Amino acid sequence: MSDVVVIIGGGVAGLSMAWALARRGVGDVVVLEREEQPGMHATGRSAASLVELDPHPVLQRLKIGGAAFLRAPPPGFSDVPLLDQTGILELYREPELGAVVAAIPDLEAQGARLVPKSPAEVAASVDIEASAIDGGVLLPDDGRIDVHALLTGYARGAALRRKTTVTGVVVERGAVRGVVTESGETISARWVVDAAGAWAGPIARLAGAAPIPIAPLRRSIATFAAPADREVARWPLVASVPHHLYFAPESGGLLLSPMDETPSEPCDARADDVTIAAAIERLRALAPRLAPTTLRRRWAGLRSFAPDRALVVGADPLVRGFFWLAGQGGCGLETSPFVAQIAADLLVDGKTERFDAALLAPERFV
């Protein structure tokens, strides 16, 4: 049987795993991407941020695990910095603020750095209304990720086949034997990695793999001009929990997301105008000087989640050779350096010392 590893999906998940497998000495890896360019869907449509603060404890640890790589990648990985450390500023009302501040010592012991901010300090830095919040927490070492540089680094040396749609997974005697493409070609493989993002569920069904419900949820983003008298280029990304939105510098202006999570079928997602309009009104309550009257552009992507919102990484319990790398939600970019190495360990060795693999295992849904 062929020792080829076929990775379905040329977004950050698939390309990062190809990179991690190469570091483990696995050379016979092919990445199949249905689009003309890699990273066209969730990867290329995110706000591309490292945020080492997450209410989900598993995601929290995975984000911190990926952060060191993004700040200081291996020599030769990228010609430019992967991370612009402009900071992340999270805004809260009580009692959420008190809970986050109380957790700071534990989070810093894990490797994150957090600085509490008063309403007046926040208002002075990013033009919000001090009365709209009870305080904030700044993550000064975090910031915006250069998606192109990260994908380029992962893709160096990868055997990437564009415009190749997988229409079937060949399974014999309970084990993967390869995939079938839209052109009718069969590619023999020992392992098939499902890194298909919003399409992870349909790919798994082709193989008869475990019926793990990966749910794609749409998230919208719009951009607009910043106030003419404000220089916003070095502002942090600002996420307000009570106002359910975030905004950040983008292309000389600002971007805004309603932080929407609208169920969707796998598709080329489009932004919802009503959802964005509602977010602008919430922004007006938080930061009236920033609320736009016109928009420059808008887009949407699909963030895909497992039922418990942790990633699904590991060998399928029903079909030998089928491997899950799915459910990244909104943290695929920032966790990719760490998760890819966990995944490569599990595929090559069947175990990993980097992380408690049971927290990510597909078996937890079976």
- Asked whether the predicted pLDDT for residue 101 surpasses 60, the reply is yes
Sign of the alpha-carbon torsion through 25, 31, 36, 37: negative
Domain limit, last residue, from 276, 303, 330: 303
Tell me: do 209 and 330 sit in the same domain: yes
Integer CA distances (angstroms), 294 to 254, 270, 276, in order:
12, 18, 12
Same domain, 162 and 208: yes
CATH of the domain at 233: 3.30.9.10
- Main-chain phi, psi angles of 170, to 5 degrees: -80, 120
List the domain range (segments joined by +) for residue 21. 5-44+149-214+307-365
Do 231 and 204 have their domain in common? Answer: no
The answer on 360 and 223 residing in a single domain is no
CA distance 311 to 334: 13
Say if residue 347 is in the same domain as residue 246: no
User: Which amino acid makes up residue 336?
Assistant: S
**53 occurs within a structural domain:** no
Distance CA(223)–CA(233), nearest Å, equals: 14
**Sequence-separated (6 or more) residues with CB below 8 Å from residue 55:** none
| Per-residue pLDDT tens digits for 268-286 | 999 999 999 999 999 999 9
pLDDT at 143 over 60: yes
Residues 131 and 227 in one domain: yes
AA letter at 66 = G
Q: Is residue 69 part of a domain?
A: no
At 65-95, the pLDDT tens digits run: 999 999 999 999 999 999 999 999 999 999 9
**Of 271, 303, 335, which residue sits at a domain end?**
303
Q: Is the pLDDT of residue 319 over 50?
A: yes
Query: Is residue 58 in some structural domain?
Result: no
| Percent of the chain scoring above 90 in pLDDT | 94
| 32 and 120 inside one domain | no
Q: How many domains does the chain have?
A: 2
In Å, how far are 49, 91, 107, 115 from 104, measured between CA atoms? 20, 15, 5, 8
What's the pLDDT score for residue 2? 62
* pLDDT at residue number 335: 98
Burial 115-142 (b: 16+ CB within 10 A, else e): eebebebbbebbbbeeebbbbbbbbebb
Please check whether residue 68 lies inside any domain of the structure: no
Residue 97 and residue 134 in contact, taking contact as beta carbons nearer than 8 Å: yes
Output the pLDDT for position 158. 86
Residue range 15-44, pLDDT digits in tens: 999 999 999 999 899 999 999 888 888 888
Answer yes or no: do 39 and 174 share one domain: yes
The reply to whether 270 and 299 lie within a common domain is: yes
Mean pLDDT for the stretch of residues 103-119 = 96
Residues 209 and 311 in one domain: yes
* Domain termination site, one of 269, 303, 337: 303
Same domain flag for 128 and 220: yes
CA dihedral 270, 194, 330, 114 (to 10 degrees): -160
Sheet with 29-32: list strands edge to edge: 159-161, 29-32, 5-8, 191-194, 322-326, 312-315
Instruction: Express each pLDDT in 175-213 by its tens digit.
Output: 999 999 999 999 999 999 999 999 999 999 999 999 999
Region 132-137: mean pLDDT is 98
Domain shared by 344 and 296, yes or no: no
pLDDT at 157: 76
